[in-house]
């Protein structure tokens, strides 16, 4: 049974086309500066502190968190008045009984 699965996988993989990886790099990527390499010890140390050292990223995340908190507060509010809620409960009791 395992040989049948292996044969099926090999047959299906033979149908796939191999992408041309030589043209993946765009001209803009070719002109871009090489990314700055950082020592791993600095990255591990900053990860252990749990603090974001980039002020722009910190500000963006704080703003996003504030928007998410506001959205959560809005979603917690009820859309029904107490009278509407009671009318629905009465209808459920009437229809189920």
Look at the chain and report how many structural domains it folds into: 1
Among left, alpha and beta (phi > 0; psi -120 to 50; other), residue 43 is: alpha
Quote the longest CA-to-CA distance of the chain: 74
> Is residue 14 assigned to a domain?
no
The candidate with the shortest Cα–Cα distance to 64, out of 53, 75, 56, is: 56
> Is residue 9 assigned to a domain?
no
pLDDT at residue 52 in the model: 66
> Is residue 79 assigned to a domain?
yes
Residue pLDDT, tens place only, 16-43: 777 777 777 788 888 888 888 888 887 7
pLDDT at residue 24 in the model: 73
pLDDT at residue 62 in the model: 87
Segments forming the whole domain that contains residue 88: 57-96
Residue pLDDT, tens place only, 46-94: 777 766 667 777 788 889 999 999 999 988 887 888 999 999 999 999 9
> Is residue 69 assigned to a domain?
yes
16: burial class by Cβ within 10 Å (0-12, 13-18, 19+)? Answer: exposed
On whether the CB atoms of residues 89 and 81 are closer than 8 A, the answer is no
């Amino acid at each position: 049974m395992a040989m049948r699965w292996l044969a099926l996988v090999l047959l299906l993989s033979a149908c796939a086309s191999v992408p041309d990886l030589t043209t993946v790099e765009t001209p803009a990527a070719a002109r871009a500066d090489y990314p700055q390499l950082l020592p791993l010890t600095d990255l591990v140390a900053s990860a252990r502190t749990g603090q974001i050292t980039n002020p722009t990223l910190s500000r963006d995340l704080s703003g996003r968190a504030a928007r998410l908190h506001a959205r959560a507060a809005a979603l917690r509010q009820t859309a029904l008045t107490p009278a509407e809620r009671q009318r629905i409960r009465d209808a459920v009791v009437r229809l189920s009984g």
